[in-house]
């Protein structure tokens, strides 16, 4: 049995021990049924932490060492709020599940969440993007994401059987948090899918690569960036902006925020509430005092 409590301070002298730690870490995450993305993210984050310890040849990994690492991640690697959350969570999991030790006090911190509003495109701008996207596969890809508020990974995982044209809904399987959900299937999207099927004849996934199998996330990002440029839109938008726009446009139309929460697959309503800050639904109901001026 590997003595992890002593191994963590001996990583510099024995590379195999580091691999054993990472192997046990990976196994534990898989046993606890974490999603593939979470396993990959946690594993990578811990590996970077262990590499950093090894590089500095630390004799003891204490609160000071961990604090220095967190400072390094923030100041040198320029980690975002989300990345810092991941780093802290991965090390906490390591101490609890692998080292079987209490969490170091330095990891019991609450990060201040930045108040950054999501970028949103107007329906006019999205129409422009779709109009300049002539390739039917590329157009279907972007329309699916916007019309159902999909995450990029959810789109790439969509299989032929997930499109239910009878009940006009799409089955999203194993989404974030390993949760399934249903979203609406637009009539316009169904017609586009029929045309797309005739041309590309996908075998398993809705959107497939040139040689079959899952389509590349980088390809989707490239398709979107080209369309954005071609449409003459200067906003700093990404594929995920289509999901933000979906939620905001539903809110603009007066859709109950709890329904939007379900459609997006959000665990907490607070996560969905951010769209109330970018929606014009409430803002447009308020009259500016300038309207009463004679200008």
Catalytic residue, candidates 230, 240, 273, 281: 240
Looking at residue 177, its pLDDT comes to 62
| Chain segment 92-126, per-residue pLDDT in tens | 999 999 988 899 999 999 888 777 778 899 999 99
Per the CB < 8 A criterion, the answer to whether 53 and 11 are in contact is: yes
Asked whether the predicted pLDDT for residue 46 surpasses 60, the reply is: yes
CATH 3.40.630.30 fits 4-107, yes or no: no
Per the CB < 8 A criterion, the answer to whether 42 and 86 are in contact is: yes
Asked whether the predicted pLDDT for residue 12 surpasses 50, the reply is: no
What superfamily would CATH give domain 123-283?
Answer: Intergrase catalytic core (1.10.443.10)
Q: In the annotation, is 275 catalytic? A: yes
Q: Averaged over 226-243, what is the pLDDT?
A: 95
Q: Identify the residue with better confidence: 120 or 9.
A: 120
Asked whether the predicted pLDDT for residue 58 surpasses 70, the reply is: no
Looking at residue 1, its pLDDT comes to 45
User: What tokens appear for 112 in the block?
Assistant: 């201040």
Q: In the structure, what pLDDT confidence band is assigned to residue 57 with cuts at 50, 70 and 90?
A: low
List every span in the chain annotated with CATH 1.10.150.130.
4-107
Q: In the annotation, is 74 catalytic? A: no
Asked whether the predicted pLDDT for residue 290 surpasses 60, the reply is: no
Catalytic residue, candidates 128, 138, 243, 249: 243
Q: In the annotation, is 169 catalytic? A: no
Q: Which of 93, 51, 92 is nearest to 72 (CA)?
A: 51
Asked whether the predicted pLDDT for residue 4 surpasses 80, the reply is: no
pTM (two decimals): 0.70
Calculate the CA 6 to chain-centre distance.
Answer: 36
Q: How far apart are CA 202 and CA 294, in angstroms?
A: 62
Q: In the annotation, is 243 catalytic? A: yes
Q: In the annotation, is 244 catalytic? A: no
Q: How far apart are CA 295 and CA 105, in angstroms?
A: 61
Asked whether the predicted pLDDT for residue 91 surpasses 90, the reply is: yes
Catalytic residue, candidates 176, 181, 230, 273: 176
Mean per-residue pLDDT over the chain, rounded:
87
Q: In the annotation, is 138 catalytic? A: no
Asked whether the predicted pLDDT for residue 279 surpasses 60, the reply is: yes
Catalytic residue, candidates 92, 151, 169, 230: 151
List every span in the chain annotated with CATH 1.10.443.10.
123-283
């Amino acid at each position: 049995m590997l003595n992890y409590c002593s191994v963590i301070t001996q990583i510099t002298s024995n590379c195999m021990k580091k691999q054993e730690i990472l192997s046990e870490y990976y196994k534990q995450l898989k046993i606890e049924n974490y999603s593939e993305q979470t396993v990959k993210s946690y594993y990578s984050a811990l590996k970077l932490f262990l590499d950093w310890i090894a590089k500095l040849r630390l004799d003891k990994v204490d609160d000071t060492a961990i604090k220095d690492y967190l400072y390094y991640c923030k100041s040198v690697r320029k980690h975002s709020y989300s990345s810092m959350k991941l780093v802290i969570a991965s090390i906490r999991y390591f101490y609890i599940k692998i080292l079987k030790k209490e969490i170091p006090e330095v990891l019991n911190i609450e990060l201040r969440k930045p108040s950054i509003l999501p970028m949103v495109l107007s329906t006019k701008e999205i129409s422009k993007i779709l109009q300049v996207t002539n390739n039917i596969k590329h157009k279907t890809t972007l329309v699916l994401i916007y019309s159902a508020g999909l995450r990029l990974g959810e789109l790439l995982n969509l299989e032929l059987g997930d499109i239910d044209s009878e009940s006009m809904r799409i089955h999203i399987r194993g989404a974030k948090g390993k949760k399934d959900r249903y979203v609406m299937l637009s009539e316009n999207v169904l017609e586009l899918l029929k045309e797309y099927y005739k041309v590309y004849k996908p075998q398993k996934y809705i959107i497939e690569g040139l040689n079959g199998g899952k389509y590349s996330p980088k390809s989707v990002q490239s398709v979107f960036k080209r369309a954005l440029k071609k449409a003459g839109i200067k906003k700093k938008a990404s594929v995920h902006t289509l999901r933000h726009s979906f939620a905001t446009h539903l809110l603009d139309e007066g859709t109950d925020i709890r329904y939007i929460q379900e459609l997006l697959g959000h665990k907490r309503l607070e996560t969905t509430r951010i769209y109330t800050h970018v929606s014009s639904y409430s803002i447009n109901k308020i009259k500016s005092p300038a309207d009463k001026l004679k200008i």
